[in-house]
Each structure stands twice: as C-alpha cells, then as structure tokens.
C-alpha cells in the first residue's frame, strides 16, 4: 500500500482509506467488524468517520437514536490496533433534533471532541475535521478552539470539509495572522463525474500547501460498473434509493460519460472501477482516497483498483471523455 503525506504536513496516510460512514447505518456491527479487519489485512492505515455517521438508516433517513454509531463500532473493534492507524473524525453537523449540539463554536468543538474520544475509546484524534463551514461562528473562534485541542494533545492535526473555496483561503490566513495551528487539508467531493473542485478549490489548496481528501470517489456507485446506460438500476445500490440519488449521480449526461470511460478501460484491459480509482490516485494534491465499503471483498476491489499507473496520454484521453 502506497503511503503519502497529506499536503505539506508530516501526516502520512495510505493512498486508499476506509470511509466508515456505512457503519451503524447501512451495515450492522458484525459486517462493520469484518470490513475493519479486511482494511488492516490490506494495509489501510487511514480510517475516516464522523460523529454524525450512524444517524442514517439504510433508506438514507436521519435517525438521531443512532448518533455516534460509526465511532462506537470503531472504538469497540479497533482495540490495540488503534495506535497503528490515522484515525479521522469530524464535528459540526447536528447531533440532536433541536440542533443544540451543532456548529463550530468553541463550546461545541470542546464538547464534541470529548464525546468522540469517549465513543472511539482513544486519547487522541489524529485528524479532526470541521465537517461543514459554520456561518454563525467566526473562523478565528473555531481555529482558536482547535488550536487549544492540539496543544492539549487531544487532536494532532485539523482539517476542513465542504468549505467554499474562498473560505479555505480565509482559514489559512486567519491561522497565520493569529499564529495558530491551521488546517492541513480539505475533504470534499471529487470523481470522474464530479470534477468541479479542480477549477478553484484544489488550486487554492495547492497554492497554500494543503492536501485534498476526496469523498464519493465512485460517484455514489455510478463508477463501479454496475450502472449502465439504458439498464435498470440494481435494487441493492445507493442509486436505487430514489430520484434524488439517481439524478445527482447518474443523469443522462453522466451516463454517457460512464459509457465512454467503460470503453476507455476495456480497450486497455481495465475495469471502470480501476479507471476511476487510478485517476484519483494520479492527482498530485490527493493524500488519500476515502472509499466506503459494505462488504470486505468490495474494499479489496477498491484497493486493487487504485494500482494502475496511468500515463500522460491516458490522463489526456480521460479529460477528453469527462470534460464535456
């Protein structure tokens, strides 16, 4: 397994990470344990979760009774292996229906990290994200609170997720102005069917030495090869949950792109999954690809798929297919 630095920080991650958003929601504890064990077998050292994961049922509905479910499962099943991985989690999303436990204020940041440490059964978090930008809290307040958490040893590195591009730059300069520990990376959507962040966000991160961690690398399953133009949607897939998912990840235009990518891969003896994962691995700003899995064999396929070394000509042809 290739190991990379995250941006210009000293934090090193496996190029394929394990997205743990399915734990306690789409898959139960026993299946989650099997996926965790497989991740260690494959050499994955980056486990990504959030306090809010576990809130979502198989149908995608919010269920606050399951709050913290993913973190609890990780805390229970990591055991002594905890010290061997980079454990990332997030805060700021509502943890209760009234949204009293939400946002990126000092009060909630300190409360949230203690709650996550308890659920994860650990003394520290390697990478702590602000899950979504909080317009109600000044960035300086959030960064000062996170700086205190780093100085206390409860958090090692901090990052952001789902921030507008200009807010990422504001965060960089706010940290520098006040001599605070700053964000080392941003996590956001990126795939061959969603390349919009290559226009502003990723160049901004590169200019300031921050890494990028993509989620939805397979576009909700649209890049796995099981969804094809004109064919019925498989009942077990995420895209079959409803029109909201199918419209987002598999519109008519995206279906056409998928067909082009399938043909590209087949002409070179590779699957669509390999095209999607290897393209992400070829992007210089990416530290680790967050790949979720509902089965151990699915995780194994994701890891193997990232091993194809694309040439410059390959990348140019992929651009031709996808940038339409």
Active site residues: 53
Query: Which tens digits make up the pLDDT trace of 14-69?
Result: 999 999 999 988 888 999 999 999 999 999 999 999 999 986 554 555 555 657 99
Q: Where are the domains of the chain?
A: 3-222+283-309
Eight-class DSSP state of 56? B
- Average per-residue pLDDT in the chain? 91
Query: Which tens digits make up the pLDDT trace of 276-319?
Result: 999 999 999 999 999 899 999 999 999 999 999 999 999 999 99
Q: What per-residue confidence (pLDDT) applies to 324?
A: 72
What's the pLDDT band for 12 if we cut at 50, 70, 90? very high
Query: Which tokens in the block code for residue 261?
Result: 């990518």
Pick the CATH number of 3-222+283-309 from 3.40.50.1100, 3.40.50.1820, 3.20.20.100, 3.40.640.10: 3.20.20.100
Judged by phi (left if over 0) then psi (alpha if -120 to 50, else beta), residue 7 lies in left
Query: Which tens digits make up the pLDDT trace of 91-110?
Result: 999 988 888 899 999 999 99
Rounded to whole angstroms, how far apart are CA atoms 268 and 275? 10
Are the beta carbons of 188 and 161 closer than 8 angstroms? yes
Are the beta carbons of 7 and 160 closer than 8 angstroms? no
């Amino acid at each position: 397994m290739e190991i990379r630095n995250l941006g210009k920080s000293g934090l090193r991650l496996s190029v394929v990470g394990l997205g743990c958003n399915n734990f306690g929601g789409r898959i139960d504890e026993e299946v989650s344990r099997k996926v965790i064990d497989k991740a260690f077998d494959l050499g994955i050292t980056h486990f990504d979760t959030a306090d809010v994961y576990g809130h979502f049922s198989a149908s995608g509905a919010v269920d606050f009774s399951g709050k913290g479910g993913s973190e609890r499962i990780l805390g229970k099943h990591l055991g002594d292996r905890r010290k061997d991985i980079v454990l990332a989690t997030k805060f700021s999303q509502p943890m209760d229906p009234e949204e009293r436990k939400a946002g990126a204020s000092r009060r909630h940041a300190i409360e949230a990290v203690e709650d996550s440490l308890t659920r994860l059964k650990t003394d520290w978090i390697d990478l702590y994200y602000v899950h979504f930008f909080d317009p109600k809290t000044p960035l300086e307040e959030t960064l000062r609170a996170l700086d205190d958490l780093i100085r206390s040893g409860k958090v090692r590195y901090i990052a952001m997720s789902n921030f507008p591009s200009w807010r990422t730059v504001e965060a960089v300069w706010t940290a520098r102005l006040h001599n605070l520990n700053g964000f080392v990376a941003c996590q956001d959507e990126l795939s061959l069917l969603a390349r919009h962040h290559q226009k502003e966000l990723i160049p901004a991160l590169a200019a300031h030495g921050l890494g990028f961690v993509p989620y939805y690398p397979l576009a909700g399953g649209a890049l796995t090869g099981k969804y094809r133009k004109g064919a019925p949607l498989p009942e077990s897939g995420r895209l079959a949950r409803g029109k909201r998912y199918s419209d987002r990840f598999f519109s008519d235009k995206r279906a056409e792109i998928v067909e082009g990518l399938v043909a590209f891969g087949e002409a070179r003896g590779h699957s669509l999954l390999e095209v999607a994962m290897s393209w992400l691995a070829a992007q210089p700003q990416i530290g680790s690809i967050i790949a979720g899995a509902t089965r151990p064999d699915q995780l194994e396929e994701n890891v193997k798929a990232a091993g194809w070394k694309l040439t410059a000509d390959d990348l140019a042809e992929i651009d031709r297919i996808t940038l339409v």
